[in-house]
Structure 1
Amino acid sequence: MIGTALFTLVLPVGPALADAPVKERGETAEAAAFEQDRASILAMAGDYKVRFDMQEATPWREGYEPLERKISGGHESVRVIEDTGTRIVLQHLLVVGTGQDAFVIKHWRQDWEYEPERILTYHGPNRWVWSDVPEPMRRGRWSQTVYQVDDSPRYAGLGQWETTNGIRRWRSNWTQRPLARRDAVRDPVYDLYTAINRHQLTPDGWIHWQDNTKMDLVEGKSQPVVQEYVLNTYARFDGYDTAAADRYWAATSDYWAAVRAQWARIADANSGIAIEEEAQTGTVISAELLQMGDAILAGELDQAEAIARARDLITSHTSPT
């Protein structure tokens, strides 16, 4: 178990709600809006060529020199793995290489929930807590909770799907989240991001735009260091081994369902999730959880054994928040 000494920083608990309550709509209009929202979320599923464009721009601290712009890309398949009507779960799978050399990296996951009563928010190093959403603020809105490659939480936001200037989009409230690996491995001067996320549909896919303020924690208070703009573009494309993504998921989906369920049980039992993170892998158990998924795919590990080991890892490395 990790010790409580890791959690000495005090950050705001509740979600920062940037908007007023959504105006009440008639029953017919509400039902139509709900179905349009669902269609927008489900439209993000598919096969894509992805371009990741990251740019530190405006320094907020005197003497800080922004990093050079970084552009990368890859192929990513997004699959709907759960749809209950008011809850939609999308799993991202990176496909690297071609032909017999193609392999899959389980990537991030996004859970969408309609009018949630609470969301699991980042609350400082190694810690996520449940934040209540007041009834007037949840009406007509969807939460998006983003999970890391091992299905541990990353960040959550709340927002309304709407059409502005002919463009369909969802915009979050202000969210906090831990550093991405690209930053964490550099021993940076900042400790976390405070951000607004936007998801917008395009004629051939969708974009995820992040407005990130990189923050330094000083005596428990966050101070801005630099502004970063991230634009991830998902353009529909099937000119890669999309079947590799489906083979991976067919072989490992039951294992990952058990992993998700165990994280959920821990979050409910412990009023959130507290687990140590490290720069290279995210949580300290991330690498082992992913390796077991690969071993199941290769036929080298019994699934029941992997599930038992995963449950034990999650339980033994988490503690009450």
Structure 2
Amino acid sequence: MRRALMITTVLAAVLAVSTPALAQTAPVATTGEAPASQFERDRQSILAQAGQMRVRFDMRENVSFREGYEPLEEKLSAGNEIVRVVYDEGDRISLQHILVMSDDAGNHMVIKHWRQAWVYQPETVLTYAGPDHWTLTPVSADERRGAWSQTVWQTDDSPRYGGVGRWDYTHGIAEWTSNATWRPLARRDAVRDPIYDRYLGTNRHALTPAGWVHIQDNMKVGPAEGDAAQLSAIVQEDVINTYRHVDNYDAAPGDAYWTATKDYWAGVRAAWDEVATRNGGIYLEEEANRGAVTGKPLMDWADEIQAGTLTTEAGIQQARELIARATVEPAA
């Protein structure tokens, strides 16, 4: 019970803001000698986001575009988060974020957080298509030339959003900027029954001397007044999540969790990928508290695997069966 209460508390404070061997902190791109190619420089910029971090989450609604809607007060929070390399296959890189929190009594709490997957010159990207739907969207030859897609996955490795962009190094800043992409509501908004039901956002990842920063420009969109079939802008939001390399907390509990569960999560990722490939996308019911209806069981089974009460093989089988059931769209 104490553990469940702590999970709820940590999620409210932090998430409200929303098979290779375990890798350690990746090398940080510097302004010294340039890598041999633009491709390698891009790779090192992506890998530089790995490490032991202190994160500050800053979300602010700024400008209302609907009469009578008042922007919300800013949401500020912070947490400790390790970012580990899930795999690095050259033109495919994936980074797993894991929250490592503790209470005043010194008890540690580990929560698998979001994952970012990068693909060089992708032919498709999994994009959000509106409530409960994601689709594999073709990327044209011109759009993908020299570009990287970034797909963001939720805590249970179900999809969140995807976009395509290029790394740029103008003015000494290593920065990747996405195209405008649709996104489902983050937990911080979904739990309060908002009048908007999705975001149209642009994402930037930029390296800093201390680590890196994730900047989002989100337009919160919902059904138009008087015409629910049309969408209209309601309010604009800036999100600035700052990641700073630190060594002032114990990352070992997060690494222990990942060591115990990474094979299970590899099986879960494979199941999601199979559904997306077979169906040309993914149908999955969204749930305000967890992002998707699959969230709680998939996360709980990982905890059971770490505790030794469930085998990895059995967990993967249960996960595959759950994902198969959850991704069948109801008949109209």
Give the C-alpha shift of residue 221 in structure 1. 2.4
Partner of 2:14: none
Give the C-alpha shift of residue 31 in structure 1. 6.2
Corresponding residue to 2:320 among 308, 311, 314: 311
1:183-231 CA-to-partner distances (Å, cap 9, x unmatched) read 0000001100000000000001000000000001343322100000000
Secondary structure class of the residue paired with 1:277: coil
Partner of 1:175: 181
Partner of 1:207: 213
CA contact (8 A) 1:76 1:94 kept: yes
Gapped regions of structure 1 (runs ≥ 5): 1-28
Give the C-alpha shift of residue 278 in structure 1. 1.2
Q: Could you state the TM-score of these two structures normalised by the residue count of structure 1?
A: 0.89
CA contact (8 A) 2:221 2:231 kept: yes
Secondary structure class of the residue paired with 2:299: helix
Secondary structure class of the residue paired with 1:296: helix
CA contact (8 A) 1:270 1:320 kept: no
Distance 1:30 1:267 in 2: 35
Distance 2:159 2:36 in 1: 30
Corresponding residue to 1:254 among 256, 263, 279: 263
Corresponding residue to 1:217 among 210, 223, 228: 223
Partner of 1:118: 124
Corresponding residue to 2:78 among 70, 73, 76: 73
Matched ranges for 1:98-247 at <5 A: 101-218=107-224, 219-247=228-256
Matched ranges for 1:3-22 at <5 A: none
Of 95-104 and 194-203, deviating more is: 95-104
1:269-321 CA-to-partner distances (Å, cap 9, x unmatched) read 11100011111111111101001111111112222211111000000110269
Corresponding residue to 1:83 among 55, 73, 88: 88
Distance 2:257 2:290 in 1: 21
Distance 1:274 1:160 in 2: 29
Cα 1:210–1:156 change in 2 (3 A) is same
Partner of 1:3: none
Matching residue's letter, 1:72: S
Distance 2:35 2:136 in 1: 27
Matching residue's letter, 2:82: S
Measured on the aligned residues, the alpha-carbon RMSD in Å equals 1.6
Of 220-229 and 185-194, deviating more is: 220-229
Gapped regions of structure 2 (runs ≥ 5): 1-33
Secondary structure class of the residue paired with 1:283: coil
Distance 1:302 1:39 in 2: 36
Partner of 1:43: 48
Give the C-alpha shift of residue 100 in structure 1. 5.9
Matching residue's letter, 1:236: H
CA contact (8 A) 2:35 2:41 kept: no
* Percentage of pairs with the same residue: 54
Partner of 2:294: 285
Q: Could you state the TM-score of these two structures normalised by the residue count of structure 2?
A: 0.86
Distance 2:111 2:229 in 1: 36
Secondary structure class of the residue paired with 2:305: helix
Which structure has more relative contact order (CA 8 Å, sep 6+)? It is: 1
